Structure 1
């Protein structure tokens, strides 16, 4: 099939790019390996999830979230918004289509994309001048290879498979990972009367969603050092010294840390209070696992019925993008750094790889569509 643009991925990044191209009347095809758009949101998120950023920062291009919607949307309402977005811009992804190889043909100056159709098991070919990689940062759940993990006799799951703490009532559960997902999963488990522990190895910022909303607004007119200083003071006033509970703040401020490393501050949903009261136990440094017993760096060991790994995700373009080393670093992110990360050579684009969430996805999509339009006008 011949088209002007091939977009790989029908998550928010791919949908935002498709809508932006639609507005400019540029033909495109969206290839999606799952059976629906926004599959991460629909199939691989826990029940209690809601947007941690105010809705104004989560809107996709050309269509605001309704004014009567709550400031922080629950998962179900955000999915409704994404479905309405697909309908409004007449986006029709080719579902169940997994890209196997994307290569650039120097002679024809086009991209050749080979994709396997899961329904027919046939490999289909797509040709385009432009290729947009919008498969996102959260393609594949990552579980570290811990010593003895294979011997664990209980349940092992990644947070992308976790839905609710309901099945774990009265069970002992260890959460590995202390980012937003890990802290919220731990809270949800404790709410369902699971005996909950969480591994916190690295320093982290704990803030409220209101603090982050304020910070994002202030960054429009104040330097990041001042914004970080104010957020730090508010967090210290709100939570006090958390080091006695095993939570140490990084030396770099929360907004600077996000910009430099991609690591987000933890938006507290009530987890800190449960840590303070002992409903959630903080543990550090898994050294070994034997059957259902987990050993820690301090010499203590505890028995668990389940381990939930909230240890992040890996990108996947390195698996199918030819000459990936010249475009992507070892972690699968563009070698070009923010704010130039979205544009590669040979009419290749990356949308949703800025490590800055939905606001950056929209910016990448707009930049990409406008750049494609400009190139088409010149040629």
Structure 2
């Protein structure tokens, strides 16, 4: 096993590490470099610190949890009860509601970073991370806000940029001709500026459903594009959260029986959702989530607005004109605004120079959950489980435990080497 002293010796003897190339500064990091200061990066840093392993967190924005702070709408709340969303070693405050608001969650993350003394290096856009076979180390190159370049050299690299790094906007024929307002939900804050306007929301996931609800609350006239089948579940069943009840039932019953129970309860509460244009997939909600990562919608009142006609349902878009939208069923309507609730994607392939652990197609680990957290040469992933905050916490614990073993083994090796040297000198 190569110890840290030997690695530092390699660096000292390697001309590539002895001086800067141009204006790029180099920093040796004895512990892991963590890319991303969202909830996944913070959880990884806290778990490592608890194990006695130092780390450095790089963040392209100027704050932690930039997605939550800058790219989420005002009415957003956690979709799951807080006990399923807390990060390792720190529960939510007791006075928080069951479903904390966006601001409460950001405050929780700020408190988490302060409690564990996590101080990310902000405004560092990682442009590349590559494993150097010659010295057995990772080279992580970043660019600061003013164009200053850095290279962080480390044994371990933790990718925590997550599944939602970049907004996804589909290509639609004629979209460039639309003369109304066009936003992705990353830019949408509230419907206050769209009162009395006809708004088309593209995408029927949790975000699309909530944006429609928000538009209704601001007296806009929303329509929803439903391109695929979708599972809509009540947020609570029998007085308990649907997610919590599902997790409890899965301890005793196979997933298909739990899915049957959820679908029966949904039918009793909602009736046949297909009657309002929301066809259900043939595969049950939990099984579908496990196979494809597609999350069921947890209803917060949107379905009632659809049934009342306050929210209209449309099929896929065929083309777009000035203010005109033509749908695949031939119907044509005028809209003042289009909001894309079409989700996000990983940006890992754009900067990580590695092709074995992460897929170049979607930037997700090639191995399915729960095996996608560890790669080769000290490469790890946190927050790519398609299971939200719950998955991030599981990954962070696994990664910290694995690195701790290597860290302690190398510390022991170094201690024995120093001890033998001291004995010989005597």
Is residue 2:192 matched to residue 1:166?
yes
- How far apart in 2 are the matches of 1:221 and 1:54? 21
Secondary structure class of the residue paired with 1:327: coil
Match of 1:130 in 2: 156
Q: Classify the secondary structure of the residue corresponding to 1:349.
A: strand
SS class of match (2:186): helix
Q: Does 1:289 align with 2:327?
A: no
Alignment partner of 1:149 is 2:175:
yes
Q: Which of 159, 164, 175 is equivalent to 2:201?
A: 175
Distance 1:30 1:216 in 2: 32
SS at match of 2:304: helix
Contact 2:230 2:281 (8 Å CA) reproduced: yes
Q: SS of the residue aligned with 2:125?
A: strand
Q: Deviations over 1:65-105 (max 9, x none)?
A: 12332111111111111110010000000001000010001
The answer to whether the Cα contact below 8 Å between 2:175 and 2:320 also exists between their aligned partners in 1 is: yes
Distance in 2 (CA, whole Å) between partners of 1:347 and 1:98 is: 21
* Per-residue CA distance 1:145-201 (angstroms, 9 max, x = gap): 100001111111100111001110000100000000001001111111111100001
Alignment of 1:1-379 (within 5 A): 1-3=27-29, 4-118=31-145, 120-210=146-236, 211-324=242-355, 327-379=358-410
Where do 4+ consecutive residues of structure 1 move more than 6 Å?
none
C-alpha distance 134-21 of structure 1, shift in aligned 2 (>3 A): same
Query: What do residues 284-312 of structure 1 show as CA deviations (whole Å, max 9, x unaligned)?
Result: 01001011100001111111111000001
* Contact map agreement 2:53 2:407 (CA 8 A) in 1: no
Contact 1:329 1:335 (8 Å CA) reproduced? no
For structure 1, which runs of at least 5 residues remain unmatched after alignment? none
Q: Distance in 2 between matches of 1:219 and 1:67?
A: 27
Tell me the TM-score normalised to structure 2 length.
Answer: 0.87
Instruction: Tell me the alpha carbon deviations over residues 308-349 of structure 1, each in whole angstroms, 9 at most, x when there is no partner.
Output: 000011111100111336632411101111111011111100
Alpha-carbon distance in structure 1 between the residues aligned to 2:161 and 2:341: 20
> Could you give the per-residue CA deviations for residues 246-283 of structure 1, whole angstroms, max 9, x where no partner exists?
10111111111111110011011111101001000000
Q: In structure 2, what is the Cα distance between the partners aligned to 1:324 and 1:140?
A: 20
CA contact (8 A) 1:317 1:324 kept: no
Query: Does the 8 A contact of 1:6 with 1:28 survive in 2?
Result: yes
Alpha-carbon offset, residue 64 of structure 1:
1.0
Gapped regions of structure 2 (runs ≥ 5): 1-26, 237-241, 411-426
| Residue aligned with 1:167, SS | helix
Q: CA RMSD in A?
A: 1.1
Give how far 1:217 is off. Answer: 2.8
Q: Is the 8 A contact 2:357 2:375 kept in 1?
A: no
SS at match of 2:114: helix
Q: Is the 8 A contact 2:200 2:224 kept in 1?
A: yes
* TM-score, normalised relative to structure 1: 0.98
Q: Secondary structure at the match of 2:259?
A: helix
